[in-house]
Amino acid sequence: MNRTEIIGYENTEMNKNINIEDSLEFSLENAQNLNEKGYVIIKNFYTVADIIKMRKIILNNMKLKKNMLILGDNSGSKPDFLRDPSFKSLIPLLKLNDIHNIMKTIFNAPFHLCFHNDIGLNRIVNWHKDTLNNQYKHYQKTNIWSQLNGEKHEIYKFLIYLQDHSFDNNGLCLIEGSHLEHTIKIDNNKLKYIHNKIGDIVIFDQRITHRGQQSNVGRIDRILVSLGFGKNNIFTKEFETGTIKRQNDQNKMIKSFL
């Protein structure tokens, strides 16, 4: 009997044939949560020191140099920061290799870091699922709930909150299991405030119903760094094509103000 059989994990669709030895940081319980509830929290992925360094780099760029799309008085976003040289010093702190290893376990198939990556500063985000909107909506031609040639929508977001949310409800809020529900329904019994500690990270299936803070109530700037990973398939391709277009449009707007 192999280890997968011993712990009774073989029946979850996403995790077939996982080499457990390769995925020590990402436990089987983690993978099961992601599959069933649509999200998972990984504890202590970053050190507090690294989070503080990330905050400095970001605040310097976004607040001081205003390298962001301004969304409100004190809020904004920086789409595709990975390709902006001003954020270069952030890259080594992100531990992309370790993230890649976790994602390898989740996908167990070829995948990539999509172009979808951004930083949000003090953003207020209401209930939604992460799909393309407005003029970018048409890029997602294939129904995200369908299966096509054995493929389905498998896009996960890796979220790094650069402040503590253990004692507040200003972090991520989501509806457990709603990554399988086609419409947005707010069931209070399934509503979950994520109380991630500084250094913890959250991964979710981007079809989950979720929201951020509802108003800017924190004592310090609320910063969220997010990275999107998709299985190499048509669903990822379509989402990515529209996302690249949106991010480029937004970055052109930022440049025109700088």
Ligand X SMILES: O=C(O)CCC(=O)C(=O)O
Nearer residue to ligand X within complex by CB, 31 or 224: 224
Among 108, 226, 233, 236, binds ligand X (CB under 6 A): 226
Using CB under 5 A, count the residues that bind Fe ion. Answer: 1
Q: Give buried/exposed letters for 122-159 (b at 16+ CB in 10 A, else e).
A: bbeeeeebbebeeebeebbebebeeeeeebebbbbbbb
Compute the distance between CA of residue 216 and CA of residue 163 in angstroms, rounded to an integer: 14
226 binds, among Fe ion, ligand X, none (CB under 5 to 8 A by kind): ligand X
Binding-site string for Fe ion from residue 130 to residue 169, where x marks contact by CB under 5 A and - marks none: x---------------------------------------
- For residue 213, give Cα distances in angstroms to 43, 112, 132, 162, 251: 21, 29, 21, 14, 24
Please identify, using beta-carbon distances, which residue of 23 and 226 lies nearer to ligand X: 226
How near is the Cβ of 18 to ligand X at its closest, in Å? Answer: 26
Comparison of 171 and 230: residue with beta carbon closer to ligand X: 171
Distance CA 245, CA 32 (A): 34
Report what 103 binds from ligand X, Fe ion, none; CB cut-off 5-8 Å by kind: none
Binding site partner of 37, from ligand X, Fe ion, none, Cβ cut-off 5-8 A by kind:
none
Structure tokens belonging to residue 93: 């702190």
What is the smallest separation between the CB atom of 107 and ligand X, expressed in angstroms?
19
Beta bridge partners, 167, equal none
Tokens 């370790």 label which residue?
98
Nearest-CB residue for Fe ion:
130
Binding status of residue 208 toward ligand X by CB under 6 A: no
Site string for ligand X, 25-54 (x = CB under 6 A): ------------------------------
Q: Which of 144, 224, 225, 254 binds ligand X (CB under 6 A)?
A: 224
Which residue type does 184 have?
I
Site for ligand X in 65-104 (CB under 6 A): none
Q: Which residues fall within 8 angstroms of residue 87, CB to CB, at 6 or more apart?
A: 57, 58, 61, 78, 81, 119
> Which residue lies nearer to ligand X by CB, 18 or 51?
51
Q: What is the DSSP string of 102-140?
A: HHHHHH-S-EEEEEEEEEEES----SB-S---GGGGGG-
Residues at the site binding ligand X, with contacts judged by CB under 6 A? 120, 123, 125, 130, 157, 159, 171-172, 210, 212, 224, 226
